[in-house]
Structure 1
Amino acid sequence: MLSINEIKKPIATDIDVFEGRFKASMQSSVPLLDRITHYIVKRKGKQIRPMFVFFSASLCGGINESTHRGAALVELLHTATLVHDDVVDNSYQRRGFFSINALWKNKIAVLVGDYLLSKGLLLSIDNGDFGLLKIVSEAVKQMSEGELLQVEKVRRMDIDEPVYYDVIRQKTASLIAACCACGAASGGADEATVEKMRLFGEHIGIAFQIKDDMFDFGTDDVGKPLGIDIKEKKVTLPLIYALKNCTSAEKKEMINLVKNHNDDPIKIGRIIDFVKSKGGLEYAGTQMKVYQDAAFEILNTFPAGDARTGLEQLVRYTTERNK
C-alpha cells in the first residue's frame, strides 16, 4: 500500500499552504492560548480530512481559496470536537501524546475547544462561505447526536445492526462526508454533485469506522489499545454479530461480561475470544468491503485523472490500513 506522502503528491503544495494557513487561523492575542494551539498544531495527524477536501475539489472543478478555507473550517471544528471529547471521556492521551485536558485541566480544554469552534465559524462568515459552513455545521450536529445515541444505547445494551450504523454514520462518517461535500462545493459543483460526493464520503466513513472497530479485537500494535471499546462498554459490529450467532446462554454470559468486566484483562480476553470464535471479525470485514465498494462505485462515475486516482488511493489507505 502507498504511504500517505505518496498519495498526497498531486496536492502536496496545497497541503503545505493549508498547514501554514491553518496554524495562522488559530492565532490569538492570549499567550496561554497561543501555547496551547502551538501544541495542537505540532501534534496534528496525517491530514487525512483536508486531503479529502482537496482531492474532492480537484475532482469537481479545481482547488481555489474557498477550498483552503473549507479545509481549515473542517480541521478547526474537528479539532474542537476532539478537545471536547477528551474532556467528556476523561482521556489523558491522544495519538500517544498528552491531551489538552491532561496538561491544562478540563476548564481550559473546554474553553480552547470553544475558541477553535468560534474561529471556524468566523472564518466562514467573514469570507461569505455560508454553503461550506452549513455543510460542516450539519456534520457537527450529527456527530453530537451520534455520541448521545451511543451513550443512551450503551446504558441499555440494546444496540443492534441498524442502530450501530446510525451511530457510526452520525459519529464518524458525517465528518468525512462533509469533507468531500465541502471540496466539491468549493470547486463549483452543482447540488447533485455535492450530494453525490457527500454520499461517497459517508460510505468511506462507515467503512473506516468498521475497520477501526475491528482493531479492538486484533493485535495491540495498531495505535489503539486492545479491547479499549470493550472497556468503554461500546457494542460494535463484530460483537453484535457474535451475540446474534450464539446460544441464549452464551449471549447472557457475554452481555454480563461486557457490563461487569471491571477492566479485568481475563474477562476482556474472554469477550475477544468469543467474538473471534463466532466469526465476528470476518463478518465485519465483509461489511466494510460493501461500503468501500459503494464508495468506489460513486467515484467511478467521475472522469479518470489524478484527482480520482488520489481519492481511490486515499480510500484504500483509510479502509485497508493495518494501524
Structure 2
Amino acid sequence: MGLDEAAQKPHDRLSAWLAADMEAVNLLIRERMASEHAPRIPQVTAHLVEAGGKRLRPLLTLAAARLCGYEGPYHIHLAATVEFIHTATLLHDDVVDESTQRRGRPTANLLWDNKSSVLVGDYLFARSFQLMTEPGSMRVMRILSNASATIAEGEVLQLTAAQDLATTEAIYLQVVRGKTAALFSAATEVGGVIAGVDEAQVQALFTYGDALGIAFQIVDDLLDYGGTSAVIGKNVGDDFRERKLTLPVIKAVALANAEERAFWERTIARGKQDDGDLEQAMAIMARHGAMAAARADALDWAARAKAALSALPDHPIRDMLADLADYVVARIN
C-alpha cells in the first residue's frame, strides 16, 4: 500500500540519498526474479515489482546499514531479500483476500489466476532464502526467516480473528505485528546487524521498525474508511466489504449499544451487507470517536519509533527516518 502524494516526502529523500544502493537492489531483484524454465514467474513478478511501489522496506534496510556506517556489499542482498519476502506476501494476500486491485492496478491473480500467484509467491520466498544466505551471517538468516514465519502466522491469525467480534485490540496488535511490523523491524534490524553495531543500537533499530510498521498499518486501516482509491491503491471500504475487524471497528464494537452490536453481527460476523451499510459503519465509528482514537494510537506508535532513534548515530539518515515516522501518520490529517 502506497504513501500518498505530498511535497517533500521523506521516503523520496531517502531514495535520493540512497539512489546508488537502490539501483543496485533493483538490478539484483530483476536478476534473481528471472527463471530459465518458467516464463510465467518473471511475468507475474514484474507486474507487481514494477508497479511503482515505494520500495519502503528495502529502503529501511539500506538506511539502517548506512546509518550504522556499513561499507560492505551485503546490505544490497538483504534489501532485495526483504523486497522479495514482501512481494511474495502480497501475491498470497491478494489470493486469500480475493482482491482485484493492488497499487491502483489489477492484481496478478485477476490477470493470471490464483495458482500462478500462489506458486510465484512460493518461488519468491525461495529466492529470498537463497539471497539471505549470501552474507554468511547466521544471525541475519535467523532474523529474516523468523520474520517470514511470523508474517505467515499473522495472516493465519487474521483469518480466525477477522470476523470474530470478540477480537480485542491486543489480538489486533498481534496480527499487525505479524502481517506488517515483523518485516519492517527485520528490515531495520538486519541493517544494524550486518554493520556490526552494538546490541543497544540493533535493539533501537528493531524498535523503530516495529513501531513504524504498527503505525503504518493502523493508518492504512484508517484510510480504508477515509482515504481515496488513488491514495490507498485499493477501493475505499474494501476492509469492511471483506469483513476485516480493523482497529477503528474493534474500538466501535467495544462501545456499541445493542442496536449497533446487531449491525456489526450482521455485517461483519455473518457477512450480510446491504447498500448503505458502509456509510452506517462509518457513522457508528464517528459517533464513538473510534477513528480519532485509532489515529491517536497511530501517533503514539510513531512517537515511539522516533524516540528509538535517539540511540543511533547523529546522521542525516536518522533525521529522514524521524521524518518518515511523522509522515506515515500525517497521511490521516
TM-score by length of 1: 0.92
Q: Aligned to 2:225, what secondary structure does the other structure show?
A: coil
2:19 pairs, out of 12, 28, 33, with: 12
Coordinate RMSD, CA, aligned: 2.0
8 Å CA contact 2:163, 2:269 repeated in 1: no
| Number of aligned residue pairs | 323
Change (3 A) 1:254 1:193: same
Q: Distance in 1 between matches of 2:312 and 2:175?
A: 29
Partner of 2:173: 165
Structure 1 residue identity aligned to 2:95:
V
Does the alignment pair 1:289 with 2:292? no
Superposed, 1:49-68 pairs within 5 Å as 49-68=57-76
Does the alignment pair 1:2 with 2:13? no
Q: Aligned to 1:27, what secondary structure does the other structure show?
A: coil
Per-residue CA distance 1:137-171 (angstroms, 9 max, x = gap): 11111111111112112343211111111111111
Q: Aligned to 1:297, what secondary structure does the other structure show?
A: helix
Does the alignment pair 1:313 with 2:319? no
- 1:33 to partner: Cα distance: 2.6
Does the alignment pair 1:116 with 2:124? yes
Q: Distance in 2 between matches of 1:63 and 1:79?
A: 27
Change (3 A) 1:240 1:110: closer
Q: Distance in 1 between matches of 2:115 and 2:227?
A: 35
8 Å CA contact 1:66, 1:129 repeated in 2: no
Partner of 1:225: 235
Superposed, 1:1-323 pairs within 5 Å as 1-3=7-9, 4-30=11-37, 31-221=39-229, 222-223=231-232, 224-260=234-270, 262-321=272-331
Identity percentage of aligned residues: 33
Q: Distance in 1 between matches of 2:266 and 2:88?
A: 35
Structure 2 residue identity aligned to 1:273:
A
Structure 2 residue identity aligned to 1:99:
T
Q: Distance in 1 between matches of 2:125 and 2:14?
A: 29
8 Å CA contact 2:163, 2:268 repeated in 1: no
Q: Distance in 2 between matches of 1:151 and 1:125?
A: 31
Structure 1 residue identity aligned to 2:322:
E
Structure 2 residue identity aligned to 1:201:
G
Q: Aligned to 2:278, what secondary structure does the other structure show?
A: helix
Q: Distance in 2 between matches of 1:86 and 1:137?
A: 22
Structure 2 residue identity aligned to 1:8:
S
Change (3 A) 1:248 1:53: same
Worse-matched range after superposition: 272-281 or 296-305: 296-305
Structure 1 residue identity aligned to 2:29:
F
Change (3 A) 1:63 1:176: farther
Change (3 A) 1:254 1:81: closer
TM-score by length of 2: 0.90
Per-residue CA distance 1:238-284 (angstroms, 9 max, x = gap): 12222223424432333333334544331121111110121011101
Q: Distance in 1 between matches of 2:200 and 2:314?
A: 19
Per-residue CA distance 1:72-97 (angstroms, 9 max, x = gap): 11111111111122222222321122
Q: Distance in 1 between matches of 2:125 and 2:63?
A: 24
Structure 2 residue identity aligned to 1:290:
D
Q: Aligned to 1:8, what secondary structure does the other structure show?
A: helix
8 Å CA contact 1:204, 1:295 repeated in 2: yes
Unaligned runs of 5+ residues in structure 2 are: 1-6
Q: Distance in 2 between matches of 1:246 and 1:274?
A: 8
Structure 2 residue identity aligned to 1:23:
R
8 Å CA contact 2:211, 2:305 repeated in 1: yes
Q: Distance in 1 between matches of 2:110 and 2:78?
A: 30
Per-residue CA distance 1:42-80 (angstroms, 9 max, x = gap): 224011111111111122222531111110111111111
Q: Distance in 2 between matches of 1:118 and 1:33?
A: 13
